[in-house]
Chain A
Amino acid sequence: MSAPTGNTYSNTETLVDTQKNKRAVTALQTFGRSLGLGLYSLFALFPLFWMVLISFKSDREMFNTLFIFTPTLENYEAVLLRTDYFMAFFQNLIVSGGAVLVTVVAGVPVAYALARYNFKHKEGVAFQILSFRFAPEIMVVVPIFLIFQNIGLLDTYLGLIWVYQLITMPLVIWVVRGYFEDISVEVEQAAQLDGYRWFEVFIKILIPLIKPGLVAACLLAFIFAWNSFTFPLVLTGFQVQTITVTSMRYIASDTVRFGQVAVAALVAITPQLIACLFIQKHLVRGLSFGAVKG
């Protein structure tokens, strides 16, 4: 595309006309854009609003009211106080948090090595790590089930935390690697000249520099682990219950209590929604495993 070289004024007579036209087109475009955005926003956000609404509806008013009713907390009481749902919430917190913790300790150094050192098969190792994330979970879980059965990790926190590494580790390694690459080597060399040893450079200089990105990657990994369904469905049962699997007991049956379904869903998604507010700026980079540096 070459830049225009200034002979656009040759059709001055029609300029006024086209400007009027242009204004009409722009108005139409703005209208269309607003309409489209409005419709899509309704589609994306109304289900969440509806869920919140229903969570406050009593069983008496469930079927004969739409928007106007007397709000009640009875569904919250029923789900949070009279069942073990909150336990599942808490256990999910332990498992997802534990998984992220292990990932940070073992994965961040990997990210550093992949960013800074040149060694044999580096790209191969990096892609292998990424490919774990996209192997069908249901396929991976079959043999893991057998292995866990043999070594007694079935239905334990440790087992689930370990398997969740398949979800959290590739994400953190790939995203954090990009953040390390963004820091110029000179920073490290300067620190080394000041007498820091390499691991001191790593902990005292580099980690503080990438902290925002690292925190964002961890929160996103936490969300993915929190949302995991296949692994806990197959690998846990009575001892460890995660919220995604436990919530399935509220799914369609003839005697379904919709108010409680709403509370169950609302409780299960609250941590992610809060976490997502903190990491917006880093979300694109995280979701694309560092491929898009948005």
Chain B
Amino acid sequence: MASMTKKTEKHPGGINYNEIPRSVRLRPYLIIAPGLLVLIGILIPFATAIFLSFTNFSFRMPTWEFVGLRNWIRAFQNPDFFHALSVTLRYAFFAVTTQMILGTLVAMMLRKDSPITRILKVALIFPLMVAPAIAVLIWQLMTSNSVGILEPILRAFGVYNFPWAAGHHTAMFTAVLIDTWVYTPFIMLLVLAGLQSLPKSPFEAAQVDGASPWFIFKTLTLPMLKPYLYIALLFRLMVALQEFGIIFALTRGGPGRTLMNLSMTGYEIGFRFQRLGESLPYLLTLWVIVNIAAQFLVKRQRKAAKEAQGY
């Protein structure tokens, strides 16, 4: 459709750009101006954030001064920084991997059209609409050892007092579990959309040839789904790397520092300890990581989309 726009504008003989009245040429800028103004008002903070990371700004002191790279050096010398980095990456890895596999599987299972799958396609989206912080509340009702339903079930399997978010070794699992509950439908939806867009003929041909389901999946479905999977991965990864709501609501980063990712650590230093300048290297590092991941995935997505069209 976009190409259509171009076609009509490159009319026979071409358009002399200078012949268009000024008012018409400026129109697009005029139209986007209000929207951009609203956003640019918000853009200032980005620049401010970088600027402030070179100062010792704090709510506690009335004045501030330049400290050069001190905040950055301090952050990089702090073991908490690398711990936060590791938590951020591990959390994103576990959550996103689980959800990509589970979401794709569920989408494949929902592919067949029946009254039940039609209802499930709607109902299964519900968790995605729940705010992550509220999801923690809901899961508290599940995992609580007094009112939770999981406790009696685990007891039947001989597991007593499973510590969930309170345990050092189980906190990450609990957070990822809640994350998975919320976000798996996102992957499911995108993969379902991808499956619906697949052309029928190659699959029929493969079936006539007697190809096994696994072979069909590996050589046909997967490559053609790849553009969709990359988009799902892109959006999911960007959010998972910054996850704040779930961890904040669950344990505020605890027990100990078990769940202190970059977002939580930045929040702690900036707002609990009120040393804004010092918190920014943590948060800007997070920003850089998210950007690198996004750019990498966008490139891969474009490549995959081109390859899929080659089929």
A residues near B, CB below 8 A?
1-4, 8, 18, 29, 33, 36-37, 40-41, 43-48, 50-51, 54, 62-63, 66, 102, 105-107, 109-110, 112-119, 125, 129, 131-132, 134-140, 142-144, 146-147, 162-163, 165-166, 169, 173, 181-182, 184-186, 189, 198, 223, 226-230, 233-234, 244-245, 247-248, 250-252, 258, 261-262, 264-265, 268-269, 272-273, 275-277, 280, 283-284, 287-289, 291-292, 294
Per the bound structure, the CA–CA distance linking A116 and B9 in Å amounts to 10
B residues less than 8 Å from A228 (CB atoms): 131
Given A43-B181, A181-B5, A182-B1, also A252-B287 (CB < 8 A):
no
Please determine whether A269 and B134 come into contact, CB atoms closer than 8 angstroms.
yes
Known: A106-B34, A110-B32, A284-B189. 18 other contacts (CB 8 A): A37-B117, A47-B142, A51-B138, A118-B6, A129-B39, A138-B242, A142-B52, A143-B44, A165-B42, A186-B8, A227-B130, A244-B131, A244-B245, A250-B137, A268-B137, A269-B129, A284-B193, A294-B196
Please determine whether A109 and B35 come into contact, CB atoms closer than 8 angstroms.
yes
Considering only residues 222-249 of chain B, those with a C-beta below 8 Å from chain A are 228, 231-232, 235, 238-239, 242, 244-245, 248-249
With beta carbons under 8 angstroms apart, the residue of B29, B34, B142, B193 that contacts A294 is B193
Given A36-B106, A66-B152, A230-B245, also A251-B228 (CB < 8 A):
no
The number of residues on chain B lying at the interface, defined by a beta carbon within 8 Å of a beta carbon of chain A, is 110
Q: Mark B107-146, 1 if CB is under 8 A from A, else 0.
A: 0011010001100111111111111111011111110101
B residues less than 8 Å from A1 (CB atoms): 202, 205-206, 220, 311
Please determine whether A3 and B133 come into contact, CB atoms closer than 8 angstroms.
no
Q: Mark B37-49, 1 if CB is under 8 A from A, else 0.
A: 1110111111011
- Count, A-B residue pairs, CB within 8 A: 290
Please determine whether A135 and B31 come into contact, CB atoms closer than 8 angstroms.
no
**Is B71 on the interface with A (CB-CB < 8 A)?**
no
Given A169-B38, A287-B189, also A198-B132 (CB < 8 A):
no
A residues less than 8 Å from B267 (CB atoms): 138
Per the bound structure, the CA–CA distance linking A261 and B122 in Å amounts to 26
Per the bound structure, the CA–CA distance linking A125 and B46 in Å amounts to 16
Per the bound structure, the CA–CA distance linking A117 and B29 in Å amounts to 10
Given A36-B105, A165-B42, also A136-B34 (CB < 8 A):
no
Per the bound structure, the CA–CA distance linking A93 and B131 in Å amounts to 15
Closest to B294 in A: A134
Per the bound structure, the CA–CA distance linking A110 and B242 in Å amounts to 28
Per the bound structure, the CA–CA distance linking A117 and B28 in Å amounts to 6
Please determine whether B290 and A272 come into contact, CB atoms closer than 8 angstroms.
no
A residues less than 8 Å from B140 (CB atoms): 251-252, 261
- Interface residue SS majority, chain A: helix
Please determine whether A229 and B4 come into contact, CB atoms closer than 8 angstroms.
no
> What are 18 contact pairs spanning A and B, CB under 8 A?
A33-B112, A37-B117, A51-B138, A54-B147, A113-B28, A113-B31, A138-B242, A140-B49, A142-B280, A143-B46, A143-B48, A144-B42, A147-B45, A181-B1, A245-B133, A251-B140, A269-B129, A288-B232
Please determine whether B49 and A139 come into contact, CB atoms closer than 8 angstroms.
yes
Please determine whether A135 and B287 come into contact, CB atoms closer than 8 angstroms.
yes
**Distance to closest chain B CB from A203 (angstroms):** 13
A residues less than 8 Å from B132 (CB atoms): 227, 229
Considering only residues 257-299 of chain B, those with a C-beta below 8 Å from chain A are 263, 266-267, 270-271, 276, 279-280, 283-284, 286-287, 290-291, 294
Please determine whether B287 and A251 come into contact, CB atoms closer than 8 angstroms.
no
**Is B309 on the interface with A (CB-CB < 8 A)?**
no
**Is B167 on the interface with A (CB-CB < 8 A)?**
no
Please determine whether B242 and A41 come into contact, CB atoms closer than 8 angstroms.
no
Please determine whether A288 and B190 come into contact, CB atoms closer than 8 angstroms.
yes
B residues less than 8 Å from A136 (CB atoms): 242, 263, 283, 286-287, 290
**Is B185 on the interface with A (CB-CB < 8 A)?**
yes
**Distance to closest chain B CB from A29 (angstroms):** 8
**Distance to closest chain B CB from A242 (angstroms):** 10
B residues less than 8 Å from A50 (CB atoms): 138, 141-142, 149
Please determine whether B141 and A45 come into contact, CB atoms closer than 8 angstroms.
no
